[in-house]
Chain A
Amino acid sequence: MVFKKIFDTLPPPKLLNIPYFAVSVSDKNIRCIYLSNRGQKIELVKSSEYSIPEGVISGGHIENMDEFSNILKKIKKEFGLNYVRMSISEEKAYLFKTKIPIVKRKEVRDAIESTLEDNVPVPAEELVFDFVVNDKTDLDDSLDVVVVALPVKIVDSYVEAVSKAGLSMISLEIESQAISQSLLSRNDRNTNIIIYLNDEKMSVYVVNNSIVHFTSTTSIKGNIKDNVPFISQEVRKIRTYWKSLEGSSSEDSIEEVIICGDFVEEDVISQISVNIKMPVVLGNVWTNVYNLDKSVPDISFKDSLKFAPAIGLALPEDLLI
């Protein structure tokens, strides 16, 4: 707290703040955001969207490396920055919650590694994983950790594409975590369901204590309005699943459903809300950037919903690595 005040008063030199832009990659498009961080004030500098030709990325897997690199090169030229934070869809990712014995901080990674094979159908040596320790652990004899793992091949292919484009990757994250960062305030301790609609896909995430605990991605076809019953059914299923989880308490009950992404319309929201009998709201991707009552970004609210993952990525963090 004291250090924060000191750093707010005497911010570190600009050179130490590596300037980066955020890129969220899906099968059909790339969305980029560059936020400048001037002391306490975060501002939108640039946003742009690029479509990806069919067959370049499929299900999160890069099929055409050269083409993808060329698109990134073009983006680099336009943004004029060398560092990038990237998010990819979680189709190839494994996200799970597990318990490990209480160990020293430096031994947590090893402890999780030993549990990987129980939770992921891929050998541990073929995975890159990261984790977050849930500070709401009640039991004294174990630690609750949320782990995300991606196959090494997938990670390497994205790192290679970024490198070919002359960029340096600061972080590679999954879309769900980035979205939750943009929609929920940093101190949000509630449990929420987030629905993200993009590329004829619907992703549903359960976020508790600002950490994504569960994700589910399914394909949807046709107009969103036509899919309202399906969306409602999916949300109900996930809510039931979440309630049935061992250890979930009344504190973990889902507060509300937040929707963002493409083609989101107001009447869809009200229909879903009626169907699932829960409050459903349109997400505000500028929660941690702007106070919309005081200033308005140079992008319409409807369009901003598509940039949820990129905005979440672009937000400054205390620790990058």
Chain B
Amino acid sequence: MFNLIPKSAKKIISKDYKIRRWVVVLTFVIFVQLSLMVFLLPSLVLSYFKDKDLSEEVQSAKESVLSKDAAAISKVITSTNTSLDLYENLFSYPQVVPQINKIISYKNQSLKFTDFLYQSTGTSTSLITVRGIASTRDSLVLLVRNLEESGVFYNVDLPVSNLAKDRNIDFSVSLYFKE
């Protein structure tokens, strides 16, 4: 069909049509938004009431007797943990079992160990005193020699008085070692 309106009039109609198209698009977008809101409304209401319930539960938990004691218990636990940490640091000591094992490895039938005494002599040095009875002087001398040669102890001290007797000798050997 022929249309003889001038370009300017056509542009006006075209513009008007574009506006209508935008109105339709925007209406559609708003409709979608509103639909989403409507569909989300039940979830929103549900979450609101859940939140409210939880808040009430938290509040009632705070107000309960158990909760009041919980604070004191928590304080005791914290204090105990702190003390344990402190003790752990204070009572740290070198591992002596390997040294004792070494000493025991040199024991023979002529020797009888009665006491093992551990002493911390410094920040990195310790002393083990071994007491016992040696049936012969030679076995005691052999023990001292073996301990000296083991390289585990930097000093092995056997009082000379322990060698005065020939048999059934009560001995006390001091063994110094580094951690």
Contacts and interface: CB of A to CB of B under 8 A. Distances in A.
A117 interface: no
Given A15-B24, A16-B20, A18-B16, A159 B2 contact: no
Contacts of B23: 15
A16 B4 contact: no
A107 to B, nearest CB: 17
B6 A174 contact: no
Interface string A4-18: 000000001101101
Given A168-B13, A320-B13, A321-B10, A130 B20 contact: no
A141 interface: no
A95 to B, nearest CB: 9
B21 A159 contact: no
B14 interface: yes
B5 A169 contact: yes
B117 interface: no
Interface string B1-27: 111111001101110110011011001
Identify which of B1, B2, B12 gathers the most chain A CB atoms within 10 Å of its CB. Answer: B2
Contacts of A13: 24, 27
Contact of B17 (A18, A150, A173): A18
A120 to B, nearest CB: 13
A164 B46 CA distance: 59
Given A15-B24, A321-B14, A132 B6 contact: no
Interface of A: 12-13, 15-16, 18, 128-132, 148-150, 152, 155-156, 159, 168-174, 177, 181, 317, 320-321
22 contacts: A13-B27, A16-B17, A18-B13, A18-B17, A129-B4, A130-B4, A131-B2, A132-B2, A148-B2, A155-B5, A159-B9, A168-B13, A169-B9, A171-B4, A172-B5, A173-B1, A173-B2, A173-B4, A174-B2, A317-B1, A321-B3, A321-B13
Interface of B: 1-6, 9-10, 12-14, 16-17, 20-21, 23-24, 27
The 3 closest A-B pairs by CB, nearest first: A130-B2, A171-B3, A148-B2
